[in-house]
Amino acid sequence: MNKLLYYIWYPLIWLISLLPLSFLYRISDLLYYPVSLAGYRKKVILDNLRRAFPQQSDEWRKNILKKFYRHFCDLFIETLKLQHISDKEIYKRITFSNTKFLDEAAEEGKDVIAVLGHYGNWEWVPAINLHIRAQGYSVYRPLKNKAFDKYMIMLRSRFGSKNVPMKKTLRLVAGLKKQNKRFVLGLIADQSPARTEIQYWTNFLTQPTPILLGPEKMSKMVKGAVVFFKVSKPKRGHYHIDVVPWNGDIENAKEFEITEWHVRLLEKCITERPELWLWSHRRWKYQYQYKSS
């Protein structure tokens, strides 16, 4: 049934993605009303906002909810547009600063681990592959629906970036190191670990939060460099990413030091513009368990 739904849905989104973004944003404006009226994951979003910003009023949180819905609708149509957007337009729509750090790392024979969150438009981030010399890779969690999973991989590969399932990351990295091929590996680090995989908790947006340690472990393994992709949204349909390097000594970094670094940077981004984060995700579904000594 899911496969049949995909083949019915695909021709429609293929045609829609041919439309210019200026027109697609009108569709986004219309889409906002049913999403808002239906209250898409409203309870989860407001609960997350209450946890993250307990000092704010209910009115403030409802206002952020509305802004999030508008951004979420834009994100949806921007993702669809990936199918037909040109290199020339994506150059205008998402810009980057300090990519020279990535090129210099490649020249020095260093690989780079790039950390980001579900903030802004993470689906456009692979366009950085048009700006750097090393091969870009994105780590992802495969979707259960194989047809939709194949579709999303196609979108994320538009600009030469390659995709690797999370469980195959170590094998990929080991192979690239053996072949002496330089790479920039992108990891989204604000997802909840599975309960059985929780190894570290920290205070994130006022909440005890389990954090994935993949970026820190991977950066120490490759002995290269680690950066944070700081995303901003200057105006509708336009994003900017500042490549922020970790300036410490990776090999001698204290345990969790790199993790705390990128968590604080993402936290600052969210605090400055809350509506750009993916609040519909149940980020705090696990309760912190204190270990007795």
Say what the pLDDT of residue 148 is: 86
Mean pLDDT (the chain) is 94
Say what the pLDDT of residue 291 is: 53
Q: Report pLDDT digits (tens) over 174-208.
A: 999 999 999 999 999 999 888 888 999 999 999 99
Band (289; pLDDT cuts 50, 70, 90) = low
Band (130; pLDDT cuts 50, 70, 90) = very high
Of 292 and 236, which is predicted with more confidence?
236
Packing angle, helices 2-16 and 146-156, rounded to 10: 30
Q: Report pLDDT digits (tens) over 27-56.
A: 999 999 999 999 999 999 999 999 999 999
Q: Report pLDDT digits (tens) over 147-171.
A: 889 999 999 999 999 999 999 999 9
d(CA 158, CA 83): 7
